[in-house]
A = this chain, B = another copy of it.
Amino acid sequence: MPKYHDELDAVLRALSDPTRRAVVERLAKSPAVVSDLAAPFSMALPSLMQHLRVLENAGLVTSQKHGRVRTVSLRPGALDVLHLWLDEQRTPAERQADRLGIHLTRTSPKEI
User: With A13-B16, A21-B8, A106-B110 in contact, is A82–B91 under 8 Å at CB?
Assistant: no
User: Which residues, 57 to 112 on A, are CB-close (under 8 Å) to B?
Assistant: 74, 76, 79, 82-83, 85-86, 88-92, 105-108, 110
Contact B110 A25, beta carbon cutoff 8 Å: no
Copies per complex?
Answer: 2
Where chain A touches its partner, the secondary structure class is helix
Interface residues of A (CB under 8 A from B): 5, 8-9, 12-13, 15-18, 21, 24-25, 28-30, 74, 76, 79, 82-83, 85-86, 88-92, 105-108, 110
Could you say which of B17, B76, B79, B86 contacts A79, with CB atoms under 8 Å apart? B86
